[in-house]
């Protein structure tokens, strides 16, 4: 998580690092009120964040190392193959909803890891084109132009087959819809999105991320 509660006020991981550095200061989860700790403050490879303690029951908890292999035998192998063949399309769709905000390979990796942790890849009836929108909906909040949002998809997204669905951008704190934040999504949207702007080195990074998570 990128934010926590300190002295009854919300603090970002960046503010924490600037203010306290490596000092041990107790912070709490804004959702479950459990104690949290900073993770990877000095890493140049992993994005710094707050973590819950081990075995936390918070819905938003994710362990420091969250590639859990216990469900690997149940993973939908056909889906994994489709993902590998369409990594650029999945990445480009996610990037589309971040607009001009920076969206790095490491952000994409975190989204895949969250989905892995939630057993998304064990579902038998997920079409690959639906994956980027599922990834977006799993994020607890997204910061775009200094405002925090969430993405909400229709409840029947995985249950009923239709040509088009809606994904809606809402304010993270209130859940209110954002003006102009409703988008129609479909298989056509996924396959027709422009991927020509993605350089070969980024494609290689995405492949490496995929292999690191699923191999």
Residue 71 has pLDDT above 70, yes or no: no
Residue 14 has pLDDT above 70, yes or no: yes
Q: What pLDDT score does 67 carry?
A: 37
pTM here is 0.67
Q: What pLDDT score does 204 carry?
A: 96
pLDDT band at residue 42 using 50, 70 and 90 as cut-offs: low
Long-range contacts (CB closer than 8 Å, 24 or more residues apart) made by 96-105: 96/193, 97/136, 97/142, 97/151, 97/167, 97/169, 97/183, 98/142, 98/144, 99/144, 99/145, 100/145, 101/143, 101/144, 101/145, 105/202, 105/205, 105/206, 105/209
């Amino acid at each position: 998580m990128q934010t926590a509660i300190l002295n009854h006020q919300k603090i970002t991981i960046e503010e924490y690092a600037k203010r306290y550095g490596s000092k041990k200061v107790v912070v709490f989860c804004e959702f479950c009120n459990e104690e949290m700790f900073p993770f990877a403050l000095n890493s140049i490879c992993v994005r710094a964040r707050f973590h819950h303690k081990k075995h936390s029951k918070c819905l938003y908890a994710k362990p420091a190392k969250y590639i859990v292999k216990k469900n690997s035998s149940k993973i939908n192998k056909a889906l994994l193959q489709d993902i590998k063949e369409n990594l650029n399309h999945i990445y480009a769709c996610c990037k589309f909803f971040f607009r001009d905000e920076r969206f790095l390979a490491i952000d994409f990796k975190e989204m895949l890891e969250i989905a892995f942790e939630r057993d998304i890849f064990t579902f038998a009836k997920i079409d690959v084109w639906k994956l980027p929108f599922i990834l977006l909906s799993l994020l607890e909040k997204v910061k775009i132009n200094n405002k925090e949002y969430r993405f909400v998809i229709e409840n029947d997204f995985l249950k009923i087959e239709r040509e088009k669905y809606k994904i809606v951008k809402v304010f993270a704190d209130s859940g209110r819809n954002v003006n102009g934040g409703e988008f129609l999504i479909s298989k056509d949207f996924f396959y027709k999105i422009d991927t020509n702007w993605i350089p070969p080195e980024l494609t290689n990074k995405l492949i490496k991320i995929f292999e690191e998570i699923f191999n």
